[in-house]
Amino acid sequence: MKTRPILIAAGAAITMFALAGCVPNNASTTDAAAAITVDSSATDCTVSAGTATSGTLKFSVTNSGDQVTEFYLLAEDGLRIVGEVENVGPGISRDLVVQAQPGDYFTVCKPGMVGDGIGRSSFTVTGDKVQLAGDVQEQVDQAAVNYVAYVKDQVGQLVTGTQAFVDAFVSDTPSPDGKTAAELYATTRANYERIEPVAESFGDLDPAIDFREADVPAEDEWTGWHRIEKDLFPPTADENGGTEYVPLTAEERTYYADKLVSDTQLLYDAVNDPDYTVSIDAIANGAIGLLEEVASGKITGEEEIWSHTDLWDFQANLEGAKVAYEGVRDIVETKDPDLVKTLDERFASLQDTLAEYGSLNSGFTYYDELTTDQVKQLADGVNALSEPLSQLTATLVG
Amino acid sequence: MSEHEPSPEQPDTSTPAPAPAKTGISRRGLFGLAGAGIVGAGVGAALDRFVLPPSASAQENAAVYPFFGPNQSGITTPAQDRLHFASFDVADITRDELVGLLQDWSAAAALMTQGKQAGTYGAVGGPYDAPPDDTGEALDLPASGLTITFGFGPTLFTDSSGADRFGIAADRPAALVDLPHFPADMLQDTLSGGDLCIQACSDDPQVAVHAIRNLSRIAFGRASIRWSQLGFGRTSSTSRAQQTPRNLFGFKDGTANIKSEDTGVVDDQVWASKADGAAWMAGGSYLVARKIRMTIETWDRTSLREQERIIGRTKGEGAPYSGGTEFSEPDFAATGQGGAPLIDEAAHVRLSHPDQNAGAQLLRRGYNFVDGNDDLGRLNAGLFFIAYQRDPRTQFIPIQMNLAKNDAMNEYIRHVGSGIFAVPPGAASGSYVGATLFGG
């Protein structure tokens, strides 16, 4: 429910072509111990060595010029980019870590970030061929297509579900399938929670749809799911900071219902925009981000403080993370099979633990009915998965 | 180090150094005494290592800061390494009794900050059938740069029921506002507020704890601790002579802090003046404390790319993303690939910079804390943020409102405790902190 536009924006900066040349994370890293230094000045691009042995190479790029610079490792044709670092401010150092096959390359710096760059030098990698995946570009493209389709499907279901939910909420009578708004609340939200990082990438939408009361600045309006949650699961005066909770009027209910529907429609429009795409690292970061949501909001019971339906959100976050992970799993497996094995096991293990408390179909134990030990057990499972999962993006693009 | 300390060349002596007078025994004097005792026991070769700590730490621990003066110490004083902070609720007492407490506190603080024991008889003297005046755990320790700084909370002036318990409601400075709710605040009542506060800073944690312990003991019946906080590592430098330390996110913190050498800025941004409204606060300052929990476990799973974008500085050097070295001024207009700003729009360094806050600055004096762990097995870790300023209405509040709404770092922190205090000017020699308000 928190804004993290950074997540997706940062991901977008990683360019796809880096994949072509960069692979196993588990390869011996001893080769990388001796970093190759690159000095990018106003007039030159001095690389400390012109040759290296195949495997993991680390270029430590220092910008000694007075303009923002970039450093590229180019393939034999002088065009294809094997690896790059960008946005290196004057005086700043940054590393480029790549997996390099034997062959001929070029190094070049681009102070000012325009033109063909300067100081282009040949760079030779000797030694044995490093085990590389095949052509992953096709897999990468397919993963992005699949994930966009998943997002559209979830948001489509969310639009339908939200309408049914607010109808029940506004009329205060059961929905066509006989469920009340309070019953529909947690299950309808699952479609949102599965793709939450996507909604967060659109800036204003997540605050309007999913902010908790405490997230909202004093003078700002509080709208969305949790505003309605508070009315459906009204707090006692004690839980409400000492003041009696005043239920929403019929007009107010209609207002918040309409706003939720229209904000959800905006999300639908955004992901159905023909230009809407996701990058491979955004998918991976989305999986990581969903587990972070679990760790910071659900496992603490802070997300659903009135309804206590945190485990529904937990399940949906986990499912969304699993889908995102599965989408890139085969690519990651070619690079780091051990990581995939660990992640497979820990996703399954966490799902098993969570299943002890229910399912989206049959409902879960309410957060406030969990014992401290049970919460700890769930938190340990989240940590066990999150820690290796945090390596996903770097493995994928590295 | 003490003048009583034997030099390495000094031969074994079986006669301890002369015992100092019973009253007002200096801890530093006692340190020397203990050293002599060891010599007497003939420990020999181990001696040098034992009584001669590495000179750097000896130098630092030797620091002694004055208690009396125009401003209280512990504000522009070079930030010490350790903190013990305590907030107090005043009991149902009279104005005279409150003044008595403040006088007793200042008297004890004046002794302890000079490396002496609290009370008339100290820790090991006085009537044999009475408990010692001083609790004793700082015996043998030097002053260690101890400063003790007192503050008055809003509820001292007007309590929660609106009562003017001590006849000072009319003197409440306009700048001593109740802090507003900031977005995502998760404040706990048991970690917030208070009628009085004491900030004890020292280079030795035991010395800081000793100060709070003795001052709270003096207060029993008149005031009791509402909440308190230990800080184990400073996160700000307040002097150019100090290296910039790191917070628990692993980044340098306080690079652009107000430094005591910038006297013009200090006068403009830190010290309240007569013209600000409350004449009794001239030479004082306003302290805002925030207990900020960091979810370091999730932070540690974040890529270096995202960590640096959130902060807007490099993790190693601490240089702004626009280039340069640690102390280079950030260039917020600098752009990189695709015309995007090098320093992200939501980066902490951008949002907290004076340029984004109408020139407002804070003198930060925060400390890292780890209070054990929570029920989920996570370290209960974070930053105990302390900032001094001339007027929170134009400094902390707008800056924090901006950060709470927009800072990319919010994902990894939560504010769980809060306090605001008017920190009066320093006491004239022999007087007490608060005399400008209460008289005497």
Give the three-state DSSP class for B82: strand
Confidence of residue A98 (pLDDT cuts 50, 70, 90): confident
- B53-60: Cβ within 8 A, 24+ apart: B57/B203, B58/B1, B60/B144, B60/B145, B60/B203
A301/A228 same-domain check: yes
Residues of chain B numbered 157-186 and touching chain A (CB < 8 Å):
180-186
Q: For residue A152, how many C-alpha atoms fall within 13 Å in the half-sphere facing its CB?
A: 14
For residue A47, give its domain range: 28-126
Across residues A378-383, what is the average pLDDT?
A: 93
Which of A10, A86, A91 lies at the smallest CB-CB distance from B319? A91
A304/A230 same-domain check: yes
A211/A98 same-domain check: no
A65 within a domain of the structure (yes/no): yes
Query: Using the beta-carbon criterion (under 8 Å), do A4 and B310 form an inter-chain contact?
Result: no
Residues of chain B contacting A387 with CB distance shorter than 8 Å = 301
Query: Using the beta-carbon criterion (under 8 Å), do B305 and A10 form an inter-chain contact?
Result: yes
The C-alpha angle A146, A149, A153, rounded to 5 degrees, equals: 140
A7 within a domain of the structure (yes/no): no
**Closest B-chain CA to A295:** B298
Cα dihedral angle (B59, B61, B65, B71), rounded to 10 degrees?
A: 110
pLDDT given at position A55? 83
Interchain CB contact of B274 with A (< 8 Å) = no
Among A69, A94, A126, residue at a domain's last position? A126
pLDDT averaged over every residue in chain A: 86
Residue by residue, DSSP assigns A354-396 as: HHTTEETTTEE--GGGS-HHHHHHHHHHHHHHHHHHTTHHHHH
pLDDT given at position B23? 39
A115/A59 same-domain check: yes
Query: Using the beta-carbon criterion (under 8 Å), do A92 and B301 form an inter-chain contact?
Result: no
pTM for the model? 0.80
Q: Is the confidence at residue B36, as pLDDT, over 90?
A: no
More confident residue, B22 or B98: B98
Distance from the first to the final alpha carbon of chain B: 37
Query: Using the beta-carbon criterion (under 8 Å), do A376 and B314 form an inter-chain contact?
Result: no
Cα dihedral angle (A110, A114, A118, A120), rounded to 10 degrees?
A: 80
A185/A242 same-domain check: yes
Which of A89, A302, A390 lies at the smallest CB-CB distance from B334? A89
Which of A6, A86, A214 lies at the smallest CB-CB distance from B310? A6
In this structure, the strands spanning A51-53 and A118-126 are parallel
A213/A73 same-domain check: no
A18 within a domain of the structure (yes/no): no
**Closest B-chain CA to A373:** B375
A305/A332 same-domain check: yes
A187/A311 same-domain check: yes
A343 within a domain of the structure (yes/no): yes
Among A101, A126, A151, residue at a domain's last position? A126
Residues of chain A contacting B319 with CB distance shorter than 8 Å = 89, 91-92
Domains identified in chain A, total number: 2
Query: Using the beta-carbon criterion (under 8 Å), do B309 and A10 form an inter-chain contact?
Result: yes
CA A200 to chain centre: 10
- CATH code at A343? 1.20.1420.20
A80/A216 same-domain check: no
Confidence of residue A183 (pLDDT cuts 50, 70, 90): very high
Which of A2, A113, A375 lies at the smallest CB-CB distance from B336? A113
In angstroms, what CA-CA distances link B122 with A81, A218, B26, B29, B119? 74, 51, 9, 13, 5
More confident residue, B250 or B1: B250
Q: Work out how many CB contacts closer than 8 A connect A with B.
A: 116
A15 within a domain of the structure (yes/no): no
Q: Is the confidence at residue B229, as pLDDT, over 50?
A: yes
pLDDT given at position A313? 96
Residues of chain A contacting B182 with CB distance shorter than 8 Å = 217
Residues of chain B contacting A91 with CB distance shorter than 8 Å = 319, 323-325, 328
Residues of chain B numbered 340-379 and touching chain A (CB < 8 Å):
342, 344, 346, 375-378
Among A98, A126, A154, residue at a domain's last position? A126
A113/A147 same-domain check: no
Spatial separation of the C-alpha atoms in residues B201 and B67, rounded to whole Å:
13
In angstroms, what CA-CA distances link A298 with A111, A190, B180? 46, 13, 27
A146/A89 same-domain check: no
Q: B435 CB contacts (<8 Å, ≥6 apart)?
A: B427, B428
A10 within a domain of the structure (yes/no): no
- CATH code at A79? 2.60.40.420
pLDDT given at position B40? 33
Query: Using the beta-carbon criterion (under 8 Å), do B377 and A4 form an inter-chain contact?
Result: no
Q: Is the confidence at residue A22, as pLDDT, over 80?
A: no
Spatial separation of the C-alpha atoms in residues B351 and B406, rounded to whole Å:
8
Task: Identify the weakest region by mean pLDDT among A189-203, B301-315, B361-375.
Answer: A189-203
A20 within a domain of the structure (yes/no): no
A321/A217 same-domain check: yes
Query: Using the beta-carbon criterion (under 8 Å), do A87 and B321 form an inter-chain contact?
Result: yes
Spatial separation of the C-alpha atoms in residues B384 and B230, rounded to whole Å:
9
Across residues B298-322, what is the average pLDDT?
A: 95
Across residues B329-343, what is the average pLDDT?
A: 92
Tell me the H-state helices in chain A: 5-13, 18-21, 137-171, 181-194, 196-200, 205-210, 225-232, 250-271, 280-293, 310-335, 337-355, 372-389, 392-397
Confidence of residue B50 (pLDDT cuts 50, 70, 90): very low
Which of A218, A302, A376 lies at the smallest CB-CB distance from B181? A218
Among B422, B430, B437, smallest CA distance to B150 is for B422
Residues of chain B contacting A117 with CB distance shorter than 8 Å = none
Among A198, A202, A204, A191, smallest CA distance to A148 is for A198
How many C-beta atoms surround the C-beta of residue B115 within 10 A? 24
Which residues sit opposite B199 in a β-bridge? B85, B149
**Interface mutation target, options B189, B297, B374, chain A, most CBs of A under 10 Å:** B297
Q: What is the phi/psi pair of residue B210, to 5°? A: -60, -40
**Interface mutation target, options A3, A7, A92, A288, chain B, most CBs of B under 10 Å:** A92
A17 within a domain of the structure (yes/no): no
